Chain A
Amino acid sequence: MKTVEAHGETTYVVEPAELIETATRLRDEEGFDFLSDITAVDYLGWGDLGVSGYIGTSQGRDINSPMTQGFQVLPEPKPKRFAVNYHLLSISANPRRVRLQTWVDEGEPVPSVIYIWPTADWHEREQFDMVGIRFDGHPNLQRILLDDDWEGHPLRKDYPIGGEPVRFSGEE
């Protein structure tokens, strides 16, 4: 387990295989009884030129550094394509928050934490629906916000805005 401190927040980075063990320990021994949120992030194209750039320059980064046109600052590379973040809270007199983070590549599953925090049910379904992360052991891993027969996962970086499969009634 790796601990990262940034912006006043603590992040524990674990391998997917250690996730259940770490989560159980955090809940039972360190008092993190409240799961606030699960967020998956797609880092496809992270640091590539042009992905998060702005219109008008080809390599838009660090736009406020004078005369650089954004050439010199690139973000830290990431270990894998997807990060899954669990935001935990300890409801006590001395509240603490941590972020539990695990990294997976396309197609790799993450173990479900639904039996540790029941509230993970819809959070995991939403991240499956939107980012396409598979949560192993979830008893009802279906799409939640989009139609059951929707194609693709909209919050992935390779899914364009306006990229919905348009269907017309009566056409197959």
Chain B
Amino acid sequence: MTATAPRRTGSPIYEGSRIPHPIPTVLKTSPELEATGDILTINFGPNHPSTHGVLRLVVDLYGEDVTGLAAVIGYLHTGFEKNMEAKTWWKAIPYSPRIDYVSFQNNEYVFVGAVEKLLDIEIPPKAVWMRTALLELNRIHSHLVWLGTSALELGAISMFWYAFREREQILDLFELVTGYRMHTRYFQVGGLAEDIPRGFYPEARKFCEWMPKAVDDYETLLTRNKIWLERTEGLGLLSREDAIALGQSGPVLRASGVDWDIRRQEPYLAYHQVDFRVPVFQTGDVYARYLVHMAEMRESVRIVEQCLDRLERMEGEPWIADDRKVVLPPREELHTSMESLIHHFKIVTEGFRVPEGEVYFPIESPRGELGCYLCSDGGPRPWRVKFRAPSFVALQATATAMTDALIADMIAIVGSLDTVMGEVDR
């Protein structure tokens, strides 16, 4: 039971670039190997339980060695972006969380945040802090699902039950606040859809107290586990330069030694007012990605606690902006005010208008840079919606990370890129 010493900072993970040429995402079997006639080409997926959804990998095998690889995607394409063009801004919100069904609130926020950027609308502090708290809870949720399933794939079955035990607690918190466990649609353009229920704070506190102990437990199970180390260390290497060239972001980038987190570098919501560390590891392998995820869960708990400190002092403050052209009027006004009734009717039937223009709004989702490009013609519907999905980009690194890998390591490597196929195919 020895944890290996971390590599010295600054030394390269490997020399030169391993990105295949000419197609950066396709690993080609060398002609010499091809000539031996011993190459076996197999289809891995699209319906294999450890492909994290419907991912198909066309793999060339020479014995146990993977000599060629190409990822084939699109099996889960559902046309989110096209559908959203046909809805009003208001009605398009529920589509966005369903794109990445594991970090749903981050996806919901990126769309709402992009609309708010176009509208240039001010959000009340209570909504800002609550959004930050929920995004971080959602980050823990996403990391737990990643941890549970990835460990399960490598044979650590018990890990899955522990991770899903805590995930359940987070979903209960979401249910308490929003009424839904997933795809909550709690973020409204201008703030939150409803006030925060009073019972949320003590429950969230309980969770924040419990969660670091749970992470300790996970680490006891895995971090120095000999089997886990052998299955993860030194595998799926991505150098700093290759990771940037391949557009990797989030935990994958930070595991390759790049100190980059949008929450700190380009803060949104309340991230410039909370104290948190950005974990960076230097080895660029599956194990480093695992360590980043673990450290991030601890940091997220700290952020949630700081948000709760603020939120508890905001009792009675507004949770949504008072902009009658965008935000639904309070329900009770509909019975007494003609104006409110008209506004309500207009927003629900026709939607609100968003000024002409285009924006790109990036946030740090649990998987990395999640961006939303919006184009408006000044009407009540988006002209174009585009999501920069971190999973889509992460999968592009498969060929590079699989250089010289064995077929048995493929699961660990593809899993460590933390992709959600709903987001890849959109």
**With A and B bound together, what is the CA distance between A147 and B246 in angstroms?**
25
Interfacial residues of chain A within 1-57, with CB under 8 A of chain B in the complex: 6-9, 11, 33-37, 39, 41-43, 46-47, 51-54, 56
| Contact partner, B346, options A9, A64, A147, A159, Cβ 8 Å | A64
A121 touches B24 (CB 8 A): yes
B258 touches A36 (CB 8 A): no
| Contact partner, A36, options B247, B346, B357, B395, Cβ 8 Å | B247
**With A and B bound together, what is the CA distance between A76 and B356 in angstroms?**
8
Return chain A residues, CB-CB under 8 Å to B309: none
A54 touches B351 (CB 8 A): yes
Q: Does A109 contact B (CB under 8 A)?
A: no
Q: Does B273 contact A (CB under 8 A)?
A: no
B346 touches A37 (CB 8 A): no
A52 touches B380 (CB 8 A): yes
Output the residue of A37, A42, A121 with the most chain B CB within 10 A: A37
A54 touches B258 (CB 8 A): no
**With A and B bound together, what is the CA distance between A71 and B60 in angstroms?**
61
Leading 8 A-B pairs by shortest Cβ distance? A119-B247, A52-B379, A118-B24, A37-B388, A145-B74, A39-B386, A139-B22, A145-B77
Q: Does A104 contact B (CB under 8 A)?
A: no
| Contact partner, A117, options B245, B352, B392, Cβ 8 Å | B245
**With A and B bound together, what is the CA distance between A149 and B346 in angstroms?**
43
Known: A63-B346, A91-B260. Is A73-B373 also a contact (CB below 8 A)?
A: no
Q: Does B336 contact A (CB under 8 A)?
A: no
Interface contacts (Cβ under 8 Å), in number, total: 146
A9 touches B359 (CB 8 A): yes
B74 touches A144 (CB 8 A): yes
Q: Does B35 contact A (CB under 8 A)?
A: no
**With A and B bound together, what is the CA distance between A11 and B359 in angstroms?**
10
Q: How far is the CB of B252 from chain A (nearest CB, A)?
A: 12
B360 touches A145 (CB 8 A): no
* Nearest A residue (CB) for B264: A95
Q: Does B377 contact A (CB under 8 A)?
A: yes
B325 touches A64 (CB 8 A): yes
B245 touches A118 (CB 8 A): yes
Q: How far is the CB of A90 from chain B (nearest CB, A)?
A: 10
Mostly, the A contact residues are: loop
A63 touches B388 (CB 8 A): no
Q: How far is the CB of B342 from chain A (nearest CB, A)?
A: 10
Binding site for B on A (CB under 8 A): 6-9, 11, 33-37, 39, 41-43, 46-47, 51-54, 56, 60-64, 73, 75-76, 85, 87, 89, 91, 95, 97, 99, 114, 117-119, 121-122, 126, 130, 139-140, 143-147, 154-155, 159, 161
| Contact partner, A52, options B266, B346, B381, Cβ 8 Å | B381
Q: Does B415 contact A (CB under 8 A)?
A: no
Q: How far is the CB of B284 from chain A (nearest CB, A)?
A: 16
**With A and B bound together, what is the CA distance between A159 and B360 in angstroms?**
25
B360 touches A122 (CB 8 A): no
Q: Does B272 contact A (CB under 8 A)?
A: no
**With A and B bound together, what is the CA distance between A153 and B369 in angstroms?**
26
**With A and B bound together, what is the CA distance between A11 and B357 in angstroms?**
12
B266 touches A99 (CB 8 A): no
Q: Does B19 contact A (CB under 8 A)?
A: yes
Return chain A residues, CB-CB under 8 Å to B118: 7
Which of B80-88, B138-146, B155-163, B291-299 forms part of the interface with chain A? B80-88
**With A and B bound together, what is the CA distance between A164 and B31 in angstroms?**
40
Known: A87-B360, A87-B388, A161-B83. Is A118-B425 also a contact (CB below 8 A)?
A: no
B77 touches A119 (CB 8 A): no
**With A and B bound together, what is the CA distance between A47 and B426 in angstroms?**
28
A121 touches B25 (CB 8 A): yes
Known: A95-B265, A139-B23. Is A62-B378 also a contact (CB below 8 A)?
A: yes
* Nearest B residue (CB) for A159: B82
Return chain A residues, CB-CB under 8 Å to B52: none
A146 touches B23 (CB 8 A): no
A119 touches B353 (CB 8 A): no
Sample (6) of A-B pairs whose CB atoms are under 8 Å apart: A62-B353, A62-B378, A63-B353, A121-B396, A145-B426, A154-B79
Return chain B residues, CB-CB under 8 Å to A37: 360, 371, 373, 386, 388
* Nearest A residue (CB) for B72: A144
A119 touches B74 (CB 8 A): no
Interfacial residues of chain B within 377-426, with CB under 8 A of chain A in the complex: 377-381, 383-384, 386, 388, 392-393, 395-396, 425-426
* Nearest A residue (CB) for B351: A54
Q: Does B375 contact A (CB under 8 A)?
A: yes
Q: How far is the CB of A152 from chain B (nearest CB, A)?
A: 12
**With A and B bound together, what is the CA distance between A87 and B372 in angstroms?**
11
A75 touches B377 (CB 8 A): yes
